[in-house]
Amino acid sequence: MQKITQNQLVEKAVSLLTDGTVSAVLGWKKGEFDYDITPAVFKTADEIKENFVWNDFCGANFSKYLVAQAGKHEGKILVFLKPCDTYSFNQLLTEHRFDREKVYAVGIPCEGMADIAKVKELVGDGIVSIEADGDSLKVSTLYEDAPALVNAKDVMAERCVNCKSKKHVAYDELMGEDGIVLESNRFDEVARLEAMTPDERFAFWQNELSRCIRCNACRDACPACTCEKCVFDNPASSVENKAPANSFEEKMFHIIRAFHVAGRCTDCGECSRVCPQNIPLHLLNRKFIKDINEFYGEYQAGAEVGLRAPLVDYTTEDLEPGEVFDRGDKDA
């Protein structure tokens, strides 16, 4: 159901590669089952023609790869950016994490990505192929003779259901037309939790975080987590460890991770997408975003390059830490 087609992207990539604008291409690579797409660095037109894919499962946010890839190849690298990816792109630029001159960014529209788990919930396991078919996905499995048609909306990833913006905030070139910043309900779930009693909230998070296996996928996929050395890998940091020994360490890891990206997180949702244990990590980040909006005024990280993150800023009239609890239900 993506408006822009795979062929258009392939052509674009090939032409930019052949006319020398770029020397490498960050794109999505075909997998085994139509849904297991791998981010890849393409160097030749043939590779691109053979393996480049663009479908409803191209969720990966490429911005973070630029920290390593920009400047690695002589000349520029081409990166395809969905609207939400462009926010991470700007945030990384704000933090001087890669050289803008070494990148050729092509903005591409996104109609929202599918979540394979949701697909399997509907049609079951044993998927052998998924094809886009208008606003639906045609899914064939080992166990049903006829392929099942599922509405793409019904299997859309949470972050896309609550898409915050279809607008590209950064690009050298835009394919298709640009969208607008959306009125999303992305804070509803946070609000639902806020409305619970502390005991309920504690129970909720205890249960969610207890599944954490500290694989660090959330951290390593996060475009805001680009530290040269993460505190959790640094024995000198006093929080370094490789596994959550108990519920405290589960909490500590996720509190610190969320705090470190507070005000810098663009809410791209990669953390939750990659979590093998389906922990809704994005809720922690969104809590910070919601608070920041309520305490210090609307702020969208990455909306522009050079914005001053709320936690490295202040006004003399800021509310007191004690007031955050009795501020009533101020609307975000």
Q: Nearer Cβ to another protein, position 4 or 230?
A: 230
CB of 208 within 8 A of CB of 279? yes
Does 282 contact another protein by CB under 8 A?
no
- Residue with smaller CB distance to another protein, 261 or 268: 261
- Binder among 73, 100, 153, 251 for another protein (CB under 8 A): 251
Q: Which is nearer to another protein, 126 or 134 (CB)?
A: 126
The torsion of the CA quartet 164, 57, 150, 108, rounded to 10 degrees, works out to 50
Considering only residues 76 through 135, tell me which ones interact with another protein, judged by CB under 8 A: 94-97, 121, 125-128
Q: Which is nearer to another protein, 20 or 321 (CB)?
A: 321
Site string for another protein, 131-170 (x = CB under 8 A): -----------xx---------------------------
Which CB, 111 or 270, lies closer to another protein?
Answer: 270
135 in Cβ contact with 1 (< 8 Å): yes
Half-sphere exposure for 193 (CA within 13 Å, toward CB): 16
The residue from 1, 41, 45, 174 that contacts another protein (CB under 8 A) is 41
Q: Give min distance, CB of 178 to another protein, in A.
A: 27
DSSP H helical ranges for the chain: 6-18, 45-51, 65-69, 83-94, 116-123, 158-161, 188-195, 198-209, 217-221, 247-261, 270-274, 282-296
Residues 309 and 296: beta-carbon distance below 8 Å: no
Residue 156 has what DSSP assignment?
A: B
Residues in the chain: 332
According to the binding rule CB under 8 A, does residue 329 interact with another protein? Answer: no
Interaction between residue 242 and another protein (CB under 8 A): yes
Residues 166-205 that bind another protein (CB under 8 A): 190, 193-194, 198-205
